[in-house]
Amino acid sequence: MTAPLFELTDPERSALRRQAEETVHQGPQSVAANALPVRMQDAIRSFGRDSGKTGYLLLRGLEIGPLPPTHTDGEPAALPDHATAGLGMLIAETLGTMIGYADEKSGDLVHNVQPLPGEETRVEGSGAVAFDFHIENVHHALRPDFIGLICLRQDHDRIASTRIASCREALELLKPETVRTLRQCQFYSNYPGSFTRDTTVEPAPSGPHPVLFGSVGKPFIRYNSHNTTSLNKAGRAALRELAEALEHVCHEVILQPGDCAILDNNVATHGRSAFTPRYDGQDRWLRRFYAIESIPRSVRQMMDGSRVIPPIPDIEGLW
């Protein structure tokens, strides 16, 4: 099954670029209800209502504009006021509310996904090794509903792929007893490296929680192949079978500059194939953003008008 593809026309691309340049300076709170070109807005809102079986939508033809080197003397570029941050704001606000996390990347709303010198083997955005299937922030009570990945620059060999695998496609390959096990509240998920980078104490894993939940025909998933575990043999076997099924239904998406992959974070797991960075200024570079459809009133009050979800200790009452 091929995923929905939306390609911008030249007039749409130009109009979107102008809007993005304004939005990046005014912030996501400035995004009007009808800020996007009509066709694009309708496609994104339709995906937000129902992400279908594949759980992702590929936008093609965004205008990226001039870029600095990905790295200079080993230091990554940040681009705080670049129009691509505005693109992320426009898309995120069409899907829901753009958010960041106080515990992750200092609450930044737009993340730069670049290989970093010395971190090639880290299983996160700063690495270059293969990154297996996961949803974003599996450990968190307020996980993003959607994530977006905007491609600014490909890897040198143009082989690095964003690997996307839907639990709804994988479900068809799983035995009924495996599905029943995955629906049991018996799994635990450790914090990802992006949340523990600056800590000296390993937080207790979240859980117990199910890996699959929701309706029988249209399930949702809470899973990270690197961080989700089970304390019993049946649970561990079910996780292995799920990993194999996700691999079988994987969509290999080689993002090109100007592409944006939007993923339903409750349906589509994702990963990354390995690549070789050179740190010559032309390495692979993506920008990531999150959107959530609803935030509990108590958390909104703690946020005090910001877009940053408070630290986990402050919101543990949600678990």
Q: What's 236-283 look like in SS3?
A: HHHHHHHHHHHHHCCEEECCCCCEEEEEECCCEEEEECCCCCCCCCCC
The predicted pLDDT at position 201 comes to: 74
What does the pLDDT average to over 285-302?
A: 97
Measured distance CA(107)–CA(302) in Å, rounded: 14
The predicted pLDDT at position 78 comes to: 86
What does the pLDDT average to over 242-257?
A: 98
Helix residue ranges, H only, 174-283: 176-182, 193-196, 233-248
Residue 228: pLDDT above 90?
A: yes
CB distance 285 to 111 below 8 Å: no
Measured distance CA(283)–CA(279) in Å, rounded: 6
The predicted pLDDT at position 74 comes to: 80
128: confidence class by pLDDT, cuts 50, 70, 90: confident
Q: Which residues contact 50 (CB under 8 A, 6 or more apart)?
A: none
Strand pairing partners for 76?
71
Helix residue ranges, H only, 27-135: 38-49, 83-95
1: confidence class by pLDDT, cuts 50, 70, 90: low
Q: Which residues contact 217 (CB under 8 A, 6 or more apart)?
A: none
Residue 199: pLDDT above 80?
A: no
What percentage of residues in the chain have a pLDDT greater than 70? 98
Instruction: Tell me the pairing of strands 285-292 and 110-113.
Output: antiparallel
pLDDT tens for each residue of 30-89: 999 999 999 999 999 999 999 999 999 999 999 999 999 999 888 899 898 999 999 999
Task: Give the CATH superfamily of 5-318.
Answer: Clavaminate synthase-like (3.60.130.10)
The predicted pLDDT at position 3 comes to: 67
pLDDT tens for each residue of 75-105: 899 898 999 999 999 999 999 999 999 999 9
Residue with tokens 């699959």: 212
Q: Could you give the 3-state DSSP secondary structure of residue 83?
A: helix
Q: Dig out the tokens for 113 from the structure.
A: 């996904």
